[in-house]
Amino acid sequence: MASRTGPLERRKSTAGEVAPVDWEGRKAFVGFTSDDAQLLRDLRPVAEAYAGEVVEEFYRRFLSFPETRAFFADEARLNRVKAMQKQYFLGLTEGEYGEAYLRNRLEIGRVHQRIGLAPRWYMGAYSIYMQLTFPRVLAAFAHDLEKGQRAFLALLKIITLDKELAVTTYIAAGEEIITRQSQEIVEISTPVIQVWNGVVVAPLIGSLDSQRTQQFMERLLERIVETNSPVALVDITGVPTIDTQTAQHLVETITAVRLLGAQVVLTGVRPAIAQTLVHLGIDLSGISTRSSLAAGLRVAFDLLDLRVVAGAAPGARE
Amino acid sequence: MTDLLEGEIGIATESDLVVARKAVRGAADSLGFSVTDVTRIVTAASELTRNIFRYAGTGVMRWHRLERGGSLGLELTFADDGPGIGDIEQAMQAGFSSSGGLGLGLPGAKRLMDEMEIASEVGKGTTVTVRKWRRKA
Ligand SMILES: Nc1ncnc2c1ncn2[C@@H]1O[C@H](COP(=O)(O)OP(=O)(O)OP(=O)(O)O)[C@@H](O)[C@H]1O
Ligand SMILES: [Mg+2]
């Protein structure tokens, strides 16, 4: 049975893992060198001196837009986030940009993705950072503008790398959702229902690709055994196209069911589908088929030797 | 440009088959084909896109509306740069499959459509063109 991961199950996501070697590659690409690391280390005293006011200004901007203000419901939370923001800001000039740094940045990205901060605010925040730090860095290096410029470029590189990691986690989280949802669709779209003691119905809807057929076959066989049903109705009313591969899958499924000692009636075979199957040269002669589910149910009752008898409604009787 | 009656779709994954079938259904419906003919055309398209996906990996499907002597039709072309078909006559035989399939896709598509041409070169690729004409009511 495939593993089930419901939407409510908030697993701690590891989406967007970036391997250390990949991280080194990214740094090489933007040209982040050990010189840059050193320049950032030299910026540390400047960062410490300005961290408080940069963070204050940063949140002033965030609080002046309703979309971003919504994330800071109360004072306590705001203060907590400010403290974390300060950590982040100081982290930029930490001086160590190895694996620990990478992990920390990825986790920050995931947290923001999880709380639902849209990328435009998140990316915008980096821009605000640049605006707030640029003049301060230049002022601090007024005596050596050439170094100030290099320091600023180093800061730009590391912030760009941070941004990249954030984007990576956002995209990965989105992909994870898509994968999870498509697995869920596969599962919910192949139900097998017991409609009567001894009769299960599998209404197929949509297109039957290989993955779905596999799931469907497993589920059908399981349910037949579980419910000890001698008859299974496989209804293809909701399948728009049956090509040779779909037909082959259906025939294989039917053969597998027979091996369990049960019988299959293929129902919902519309005239257009029937004609197409003939044109394709697909041989369904060994398989019992009916045009409607109702007709198939009648076959099932016959096979089980059950009779449906019209009678007066209870209570109408004397 | 991709509108209902003319367009192109890249085939690379199994889910592209769904997109291709949907496009063909849209084109055939809007050309006024009968329900049975629409089903035939969509099924043929499904076979030929699946062959691309299965044997060549990637390729394209193109479609456009036809008009000849007052009748309307639909032409579908399936092109890939895959391994090609060495023996077309053999591939067209019902029951021949190099992949454990039913071997009914190509001959089936031919029967479902009015016209079919295959051009293929080993190592270069395969192009299958099919046409269906609308019966006059
Ligand atoms: N686009 C293609 N490129 C290369 N070989 C192809 C291509 N299309 C078909 N073939 C070859 O022709 C054979 C017959 O194709 P056909 O579609 O009739 O049957 P099949 O794909 O094997 O089975 P199915 O009945 O599921 O379609 C294939 O097995 C394959 O060897
Ligand atoms: Mg085929």
**Mean per-residue pLDDT over chain A, rounded:** 87
| Ligand positioned closest to the Cα atom of B102 | 1
Tell me the percentage of chain B whose pLDDT exceeds 90: 88
Residue A6 is predicted with a pLDDT of 38
Whether the per-residue pLDDT at B137 is higher than 70: the answer is no
Give the separation between CA B79 and CA B91, rounded to whole angstroms.
16
Residue A116 is predicted with a pLDDT of 85
Residue A10 is predicted with a pLDDT of 36
Look at the alpha carbons of B4, B8, B11, B12 in this order and tell me if their dihedral is positive or negative.
negative
Is residue B6 within 8 angstroms of chain A, CB to CB? no
Q: pLDDT for A100-122, tens place per residue?
A: 999 999 988 888 888 888 888 88
Residue B3 DSSP label: B
With bands split at pLDDT 50, 70 and 90, how would you rate the model's confidence at B47?
very high
| Ligand 1 binding pocket mutation candidate from B11, B53, B55, B112 (most atoms within 8 A of CB) | B55
Residue B78, classed as helix, strand or coil, is: strand
With bands split at pLDDT 50, 70 and 90, how would you rate the model's confidence at B1?
very low
Contact yes or no for A275 and B18 at CB 8 A? no
* Mean local confidence (pLDDT), A228-253: 92
> The complex's ipTM?
0.87
Q: pLDDT for A246-256, tens place per residue?
A: 899 899 999 99
Whether the per-residue pLDDT at A196 is higher than 80: the answer is yes
Full 3-state SS string of B94-107: CCCCCCCCCCCHHH
Give the separation between CA A94 and CA A100, rounded to whole angstroms.
11
Give the separation between CA A171 and CA A282, rounded to whole angstroms.
44
Taking only residues 46 to 65 of chain B, the set having a beta carbon closer than 8 angstroms to any beta carbon of chain A reads 46-47, 50
Beta bridge partners of A266: A234, A289
Distances (CA, A) of B118 to B94, B98, B102, B131: 16, 17, 19, 12
Kindly state the greatest CA–CA separation across chain A. Answer: 109
Whether the per-residue pLDDT at A188 is higher than 80: the answer is no
Output the CA A3–ligand 1 centroid distance in Å: 34
Residue A17 is predicted with a pLDDT of 78
The first and second tokens of residue A209, run together, are: 């690709």
> Residue B85: how many CB atoms within 10 A of its CB?
22
**What kind of architecture, by CATH, is found in domain B6-133?**
2-Layer Sandwich (3.30)
- How many A/B residue pairs have CB atoms within 8 Å? 69
Sorted by where each begins, the domain ranges of chain A are 20-184, 193-303
The amino acid at residue A4 is R
A-chain residues near B101 (CB < 8 A): 244-245, 248
Closest to A23 in 3D by CA, of A155, A119, A165, A172? A165
Ligand 1 atom closest to Cα of residue B82: 3
Contact yes or no for A244 and B17 at CB 8 A? no
Which one of B18, B35, B47 has the shortest CB-CB distance to A207?
B18
Residue A4 is predicted with a pLDDT of 38
CATH 3.40.50.1100 for the A20-184 domain, yes or no: no
Contact yes or no for B50 and A282 at CB 8 A? no
Sorted by where each begins, the domain ranges of chain B are 6-133
The first and second tokens of residue A190, run together, are: 């192949």
Q: pLDDT for B2-20, tens place per residue?
A: 578 899 999 998 888 989 9
The correct CATH number of A193-303 out of 3.30.750.24, 3.40.718.10, 3.30.1050.10, 1.10.3720.10 is 3.30.750.24
> B2 CB under 6 A from ligand 1?
no
* Mean local confidence (pLDDT), A40-66: 91
With bands split at pLDDT 50, 70 and 90, how would you rate the model's confidence at A73?
confident
* Mean local confidence (pLDDT), A121-150: 90
Give the separation between CA A141 and CA A137, rounded to whole angstroms.
6
In B, minimum Cα distance to A208 occurs at B18
Residue A177 is predicted with a pLDDT of 83
Give the separation between CA A238 and CA A269, rounded to whole angstroms.
10
A258's CB contacts (< 8 A; 6+ apart) are A264
Contact yes or no for B111 and A207 at CB 8 A? no
Is residue A255 within 8 angstroms of chain B, CB to CB? no
Q: At what angle do helices A145-188 and A210-227 cross, to 10 degrees?
A: 40
Distances (CA, A) of A180 to A43, A73, A301: 44, 31, 39
Scanning A64-144, the segments in alpha helix (DSSP H) are: 66-69, 75-91, 99-114, 119-140
Residue B126, classed as helix, strand or coil, is: strand
